[in-house]
Amino acid sequence: MEIAKSFISGVRIDRVSMDETVTQCDQFIRTRVPHQVVVVNAAKLVKAQTDKYLRHIINEADLVGADGMPLVWLSKLLGDPIPGRVNGTDLMEKLVEHAARKGYSIYFLGAKLEVVRKVVDTYKEKYPDLKVAGYRDGYFNPEDETAVADEIRASGADIIFLAFGSPKKEKFVRDHLFRMNVPLVHGVGGSFDVVAGITKRAPVWMQNAGLEWFYRFLQEPSRMWKRYLFTNVEFMAVAALEVFRRVPPFQRAA
């Protein structure tokens, strides 16, 4: 499948739907060559403005999805529309179902040990035929990264889900992608906490309205208010600058 690319403020986002993303991921697995899948939300777009290595990783990834309605809306405003949202948690769910049906094996890496165990147990209960190549928590020192990558390689996994925060997960994958030798690597952030029932997803209507961040804020306001305040303001500034740079004045007025 030929992947059409868009760029928002120097950050690449592919024009792919969720179904097209799953299809492309299946093709990656079939090649047996390591591939990195990245999803970009508003916060990651903002981080990539100052973190040049993160921006390089995103722009050089094998597939980049738009993880958030604000990016979809902004792409349409810029005249370079992205077909739809490719949320990281939703993509993980679809790939687990796909793997169970196709016989692909999955390695789960990240979060606390009790959380990742709960994720494995939940998916094994939901998909009895699912092959789990292995799992481990995400609490290890930088000097242990090579050993972790070797452990993953020895598992023979077809897919790895990496539950670290950004930009740690993108950089870990970039540094160890070929050492791990897993055909499909998808960084899923806090998705393990969602599957394990520690945090809740926003209702679908809030996801579609671009308010998933607000639902997350309501769960932990004292911890999340500063992150979302600054991130949202910075994203609006980045978006406004991109609109004024690329959209003709008469179109902005319309």
203-226: pLDDT as tens digits:
888 888 888 877 777 877 777 666
The Cα-based distances of 65 to 12, 38, 125, 236 in angstroms read 9, 6, 29, 20
> What average pLDDT does the chain have?
92
Is residue 252 very low, low, confident or very high in pLDDT (cuts 50, 70, 90)?
low
What DSSP element (H or E) covers 132?
strand 131-136
pLDDT number for residue 137: 97
Ranges of H-type helices in 32-144? 42-50, 52-60, 69-77, 88-102, 113-126
User: Which distant-in-sequence residues (6+ apart) come within 8 Å of 126 by Cβ?
Assistant: none
pLDDT at 251: 58
Over residues 230-244, the pLDDT tens digits come to 888 899 999 999 988
pLDDT band at 248 (very low <50, low <70, confident <90, very high): low
**CATH number of the 5-204 domain:** 3.40.50
Nearest Cα to 104, choosing from 86, 127, 137? 127
SS3 at position 136? strand
Q: Pull the structure tokens for residue 98.
A: 């796909």
pLDDT of 105 strictly over 70: yes
Percent over 90 (pLDDT), the chain:
77
